[in-house]
Amino acid sequence: MSADPFRLGWFANLTAPEWKSPYPGNDPKTWFDGSFHIDMVRNLERAGFDFIMLEDSLMVSDIYQGTSEIELKHARYAPKMDPVATAAMLAKATQHIGIIATASTTFYHPYQLARQFATINNLSGGRVGWNVVTSSEDLAAKNYGMDKLPEHDLRYDMAEEFMLAAKALWGSWEEGAILADAESGYYTDFTKVNPVNYEGTYYKTRGPLNLPAGPNGGPVICQAGGSPRGRDFAAQYADVILTIPNEAAGAKAYRADIRRRAESFGRNPDDIKVFSVVYPIVGETMADAQAKNEAWYARKQQNFEVQMAHFGALTEIDFSQFDPDQPIPDDLSTNGHQSQFEIWRKQLGGKTIREGFSGMRVQTTEMVGTPDAIASQMDEFMQEVGGDGFLIYGQPISRQYISEMTDGVAPALQRRGLMRNDYSHKTLLENLHSF
């Protein structure tokens, strides 16, 4: 017995591709012209991925040791290009795949966001998605003239209003408003374009938007809430939900919880697809894959340094202040990525900070092997979870890794009937609802 067909999505940073490996063509400097990411998204489309998700953050962190040295040395968070602007380019370089761009409700205004996503939704023929985040870093807030981020739950209150305002703006052009009728002389039927007069506690916008929202009435909504507040928000508004699962059992529980919450909001849970983050390590033979996996863990000192800085940037905790050979203090907390922090704390158990960071990976489920073996592992995982998909996270990204996934794992899944071969519909939402 095998799982029902499921989906693959791709997690992407708009940062430098792998630049140390001798593998040719990773374009350590020239990726700034977009060509690396265009090649990447075209490969993903050829392989049948549902979407690429462009993550974002809005700062150069100097949390770790009070300097941005480690962050910039390893090119982890910066330089990083803007996902909304890049999404427009990637949309025009492809025809079928979904392009999901991250944008923060804390730093956009609903009108600007609604306008940009309506534009790309039109440009892409309905293939754009918005990954709704509230941001996690005070440093980002400082870049936007604030002293610090609003507190965690308040950010979600604001995001909720933001979403209502944006949706109202996308709804401000009725179906059929564009006439382009030379005979009557009307390009647009003005009776079908209406102000929204949205007024909440945090946002106010008159509307209407100055363009129609495009296919399906606006972008696909993507979210990654882990806290109870975040899960409610996602269950209420999202079409795509991203999660870093705690093994298959955690993914199963998370998906069941989201589906239950969605039903309580009057939604059909089958309209929501939950994607679990995994980072498969692929080799030509099992031994080759195991060796790659071990080589990764063997780079302990570099991992330690990078992960301390990277996770410190996300949580805004300077881990360099603690003795690395002691466990993390019990009373440590964050206003940033709370659920990720808690998963990590649990994984750490009684380990020291050094041990915890040296072996730290974003995902908890190891998938290691030949393309066929990875396909089996995914099948098994999905049988337990019950459905939807995986978000492939391979950072920093290389042409070699892209090819291992698009020319190795995806075809292996397709041979087993576990993944789409092509796109049955034109828009991202329709393709998401197709099975």
User: In this complex, which beta carbon is closest to ligand FMN, that of residue 103 or of residue 382?
Assistant: 103
Q: Please, what is the minimum distance in Å from the beta carbon of residue 109 to ligand FMN?
A: 17
Q: Do 239 and 226 meet the contact criterion of CB atoms below 8 Å apart? A: no
Kindly state the smallest distance separating residue 244's Cβ from ligand FMN, in Å. 5
Nearer to ligand FMN, 169 or 242 (CB): 242
Task: Give min distance, CB of 313 to ligand FMN, in A.
Answer: 11
Contact footprint for ligand FMN (CB under 6 A): 55-57, 102, 133-136, 152, 224-227, 229-230, 242-244, 277, 337-339, 391
The residue (of 75 and 242) whose beta carbon lies closer to ligand FMN is 242
CA distance between the termini of the chain: 19
SS3 104: strand
Q: Is 136 within 8 Å of 230 (Cβ atoms)?
A: no
**Residue ranges of the alpha helices (H) in 144-243?**
152-170, 228-237
- In whole angstroms, give the CA distance from residue 336 to residue 314: 6
Contacts of residue 75, defined as CB under 8 A and 6 or more positions apart, other chains included, come to: 15, 16, 19, 396
Rank residues 338 and 414 by Cβ distance to ligand FMN and give the closer one. 338
- Nearest CA-CA partner of 140 in 209, 58, 201, 195: 58
Give me the least distance between CB of 56 and ligand FMN, in Å please.
5
- Please report how close the Cβ of residue 126 comes to ligand FMN at its closest, in angstroms: 22
Q: Which residue is nearest to ligand FMN (CB)?
A: 230
Summarize the annotated binding site for FMN as residue ranges.
Answer: 56, 102, 152, 156, 227
Residue closer to ligand FMN, measured from CB, 143 or 326? 143
Write out the DSSP string of 128-155: EEEEEE----HHHHHHTT-SSPPPHHHH
Which residues participate in the annotated binding site?
A: 56, 102, 152, 156, 227
Q: Are strands 273-278 and 389-392 parallel, antiparallel or unpaired?
A: parallel
